[in-house]
Structure 1
Amino acid sequence: MTLSRIVMRLARNPGTEFAGGDDRRGYALTAPLTDDGRLDETAYARHKSDCAVRRFSPDEDPADGRLAKRGQRWFFDYDDEDVADDEPVYRLGEHRFAVGEYVTVTDEDGRPLTYKVVEVQPVS
């Protein structure tokens, strides 16, 4: 099983203060991927503790968390004791992680924002 580092940056989000996007905001995710770039659920089940996420932004400290799954719902979790901090990721299990693809993450304020995959690299 190989883990990948996936970097997603805030894409254009018309109707928000991020209408033009913002490359300084995003996520760095470590997760196992299949050969076609989708989340490898079997490998995830065996290596949950290795699946991490870091949210970054120029106006706040980075937030470190983990990739989590409850039923069919994937989300970023920053505190095991607090479900209010969970950031659901829209249809994450169906996304293909390849440069140029888009992923929607619901932020801590409940807003769905679109991010563009800008990097996918194996973790050595």
Structure 2
Amino acid sequence: MNLKLIRLELARNKDFPGGSSAHGYEFRAPLRADGHIEVEGWKDVAQLCTAHHFWGNDDERGQLIRTRAHQWAFSYIPGEDDDEPIFRFDSHVFAPGEYVTITEHDGEDYVFKVISVSDVPTPSA
């Protein structure tokens, strides 16, 4: 199991025609060699799977979670009210240049580009 730090940045949209490096996410997740999330591996390191949402001057820190409906989401406080579901997250390949759609708190869908995927040292047992 390889714990990775994945950086997503806002892809181009009507408000940001060139995309935006000041808007996005950095999160940790276990990835298989093919770039897909390793679901079973996540269970073992869920507490290490942190998420950082940066949006201009606003920052939120939380966790990558699995919801009761077995969907992936970013969560910043206990409960489901703030969860940001991630469309087809487990079918995505996390590699630079790929794209991911995330539903923000306001219900809007935004497309993000995978900018980088790097190794995260895991604590030894």
1:66 alignment partner in structure 2: 63
2:116 to 107, 116, 119: 119
For residues 49-87 of structure 1, what are the alpha-carbon distances to aligned partners after superposition, in whole Å with 9 as ceiling and x for unaligned?
111100012231x2100001123311000011x311110
2:11 alignment partner in structure 1: 11
* Residue 78 (structure 1) aligned with residue 76 (structure 2): yes
* Residue 36 (structure 1) aligned with residue 37 (structure 2): no
Structure 2 residues not aligned, in runs of 5+: none
> Shift of the alpha carbon at 1:108?
1.1
Contact map agreement 2:86 2:101 (CA 8 A) in 1: yes
2:41 is paired with a residue whose SS is helix
2:102 alignment partner in structure 1: 105
Aligned length, in residue pairs? 120
Which residue type is aligned with residue 8 of structure 1?
L
Superposed structure 1 runs of 4+ greater than 3 Å apart = none
CA–CA distance in structure 2, aligned partners of residues 2 and 35 of structure 1: 8
For residues 18-57 of structure 1, what are the alpha-carbon distances to aligned partners after superposition, in whole Å with 9 as ceiling and x for unaligned?
3432111100010000010000001001111111100012
1:45 is paired with a residue whose SS is helix
RMSD (CA atoms) = 1.1
CA–CA distance in structure 2, aligned partners of residues 114 and 6 of structure 1: 15
CA–CA distance in structure 2, aligned partners of residues 77 and 57 of structure 1: 15
- Scaled by the length of structure 1, the TM-score of the pair is 0.91
1:92 alignment partner in structure 2: 89
Between the aligned residues of both structures, percent identity stands at: 37
Structure 1 residues not aligned, in runs of 5+: none
2:24 alignment partner in structure 1: 26
- Scaled by the length of structure 2, the TM-score of the pair is 0.90
1:85 is paired with a residue whose SS is coil
Contact map agreement 2:2 2:32 (CA 8 A) in 1: no
Which residue type is aligned with residue 92 of structure 1?
F
